[in-house]
Amino acid sequence: MIAAPALVAISILIVLLSLRRPEFPVRIDERPDKTDERPLVWWSEISRSGFGEFTAVRLDLHAVDYALNLLVNPSNNSTNKDANARLESPLAMAQVGGYLVAVNATSYTLPGKSPEQTESWRTFLPGTNVTLRGVAKPRNQEQIGLGPAAPSYPVLWQDSNGKVGLTTLRPPENAVWFLSAYHWLIKEHQVFHAALPYIKRTNRSAAGISEDGRWLFLVACGPSNQKSSKDSGASLPELAEFMLSLGVANALNFDGGSSTSMIIKQQKSYLLTPPPEKYISRPVPVILGITPNH
């Protein structure tokens, strides 16, 4: 027979274990319904076309155990004033930053080259100095970049009270971090007009917020195993429709194509999705993601 003090100790241990923050996101078999209150979950599902596979992460922005953070690699090249960031493996960035989930964010150009010239370069090495397209201000760091790449581009931000917003206006004065990458994907429950022409399927990524401001969704799409072809992944309208189906009211598009990468921490390793080309993820200068809230 177990003594009473031992039973009390066991009960306390069980309670403490039940309250302990998960060390990695919870994988679920299908998208959560409105009764699912778990603060950090992820799942995958095939697109309606069958050519893409969406991986979606849902974060409860009211949960105290998790924080939304931005990580930027600053340039180490003082000889070129146009360079303000540096490329690095997204997996390495996620590991160094202690991220549970991370997704590539804004794009970039090579100093002295146009976006078209930059895109023609097939490979990039970690450590390459680049210029951000847009603006990023990580927590407790200086702003990198002058501002949004276009006046109408949205800014994703979080203020000192923990509120996360997505607006065309400048972030509030008490913003602890903010980011502007590409144009709107969804604005006020509608597919944004600038996304409609992008009907080519490729790898895509985006972030969106629910109407009540409680849920943040990070989504990446790559080719599905069912359809292996050059026309795989998702178009921007398809990505937008998927996010609308999740209940997203506003969303912005991130850098797509071969730069698309989502990192999800698992029990003994990290999941990289979409699967990297040639087994190596393309280096990026900025990631947005979820960390434990220490």
> pLDDT tens digits, residue range 135-172?
999 999 999 988 888 888 999 999 999 999 999 988 99
pLDDT at 118 over 90: no
- Phi, psi (degrees; rounded to nearest 5) at 19: -90, -10
Average the pLDDT over 9-38 and give the result: 72
Q: Which amino acid makes up residue 24?
A: F
Question: CA–CA separation, 208 vs 210, rounded Å?
Answer: 7
- The pLDDT value given to residue 3: 59
Question: CA–CA separation, 61 vs 173, rounded Å?
Answer: 20
**Cα-based distances in Å from 2 to 7, 9, 10, 11, 14:** 7, 11, 10, 12, 16
Average the pLDDT over 168-187 and give the result: 94
- The pLDDT value given to residue 151: 87
- The pLDDT value given to residue 78: 63
- The pLDDT value given to residue 16: 40
pLDDT tens-digit series, residues 69-101? 999 998 886 667 789 999 999 999 999 999 999
pLDDT tens-digit series, residues 228-271? 666 789 999 999 999 999 999 999 999 988 889 999 999 889 99
pLDDT tens-digit series, residues 194-231? 999 999 999 999 999 999 999 999 999 999 875 566 67
Model-wide pTM > 0.75? yes
- The pLDDT value given to residue 17: 42
